[in-house]
Structure 1
Amino acid sequence: MATHAPPVEERDARPLDIETMRASPRRLLAEDAELPSPEELEILTLRLRGHIMIMIPEVEIAAGRQPKDDIPRYCALACVGEARMRLNLEPGRTLPAGIAHAQRLARSVNALCDHVVNLGGDHS
């Protein structure tokens, strides 16, 4: 099921807080990251999902401003597709499987942040 960016009049006018959105992935992807407890993992996974849901329309809008044959536009939209796919996946039942799932979400958050910044999207 594809979702599309909301009309401009329905979007929040505040700029994205990219730095805050990048903090959650660091919790899982940093070399010295400590393993989260199951409770922490659940909260972190929900936070990452929320970041992705916010970023997808922003990346789509920023990509839509680029020429149709623009390679960064194509890459950004491919990233959106992968992020949507990851939102539809369920984490495994074990802690290691849940962590792996959250790490994939974290990588999508990082990539979406990179794309919105590189495409000149509205961010702080």
Structure 2
Amino acid sequence: MTQATDHPTAAAEGDRLPPIDVPAMRASARRLLSGDAGDPAPDEVPVMISTLRGHLELITPVVERVAALKPDDDRGWTVPVNCAIIAAADTRRTMRVETPSGRESAVRHARRLARRLNAMCDHFQTLVSDHPETSDQPGEHPEV
């Protein structure tokens, strides 16, 4: 069973954020990125792209909002916050790209979205940790 979080850091500030189901998001990305994944069936590509976009549309603004809630005077958060903000901007640029025609191009685009989703999950999990030094390494986070 997957878990979601209500983001206690954000809630403490009176800013309710939607729950983020990181394990489900990572599972969606893994379908395209695992070494033995292979190419999806032609009819699966649009569904996968739609799912990845939906996850990115949910997590990207949450990452931006949680980053904005971090204290400016805590130098330990400077790098993680700035990296998350830059990653969110990169994700938004990737999301503006229309799905290309042609199966191979569409699969490449879906994989780009999957990599962006993994990055946003990494940033999210870092930002909701107690402190950047106590967070796990990217890609090796426990379920949040």
Same fold judged by TM-score > 0.5?
yes
Counterpart Cα distance in 1 of 2:112 and 2:33 = 10
**1:65, CA displacement in angstroms?**
2.0
Counterpart Cα distance in 1 of 2:42 and 2:58 = 24
**1:71, CA displacement in angstroms?**
0.9
Counterpart Cα distance in 2 of 1:28 and 1:35 = 7
The root-mean-square deviation of aligned C-alpha atoms, in Å, is 1.9
Note the alpha carbon deviations across 1:49-96, whole angstroms, 9 max, x for none.
Answer: 000000011101221122446111000000000110111001221111
Once structures 1 and 2 are overlaid, which stretch shifts more, 17-26 or 68-77? 68-77
Does residue 27 of structure 1 match 2:35? no
Counterpart Cα distance in 2 of 1:67 and 1:81 = 21
What TM-score does the superposition give when structure 1 sets the normalisation length?
A: 0.84
Counterpart Cα distance in 1 of 2:36 and 2:42 = 18
Please list every run of at least 4 consecutive aligned residues from structure 1 whose deviation after the TM superposition is greater than 4 angstroms.
none
The alignment-based identity, stated in percent, is: 36
Give structure 2 stretches of 5+ with no counterpart: 1-13, 130-142
Structure 2 residue identity aligned to 1:95: R
Counterpart Cα distance in 1 of 2:123 and 2:55 = 14
**1:8, CA displacement in angstroms?**
3.5
Structure 2 residue identity aligned to 1:103: R
**1:37, CA displacement in angstroms?**
1.5
Larger radius of gyration: 2
Paired residue total? 114
Counterpart Cα distance in 2 of 1:33 and 1:96 = 15
What TM-score does the superposition give when structure 2 sets the normalisation length?
A: 0.73
**1:40, CA displacement in angstroms?**
0.3
Counterpart Cα distance in 2 of 1:113 and 1:87 = 16
Counterpart Cα distance in 1 of 2:61 and 2:94 = 15
Match of 1:3 in 2: none
Higher RCO, Cα 8 Å, sep 6+: 1
Local SS of the residue matching 2:100: coil
**1:38, CA displacement in angstroms?**
1.9
Match of 2:81 in 1: 73
Structure 2 residue identity aligned to 1:47: T
Match of 1:99 in 2: 107
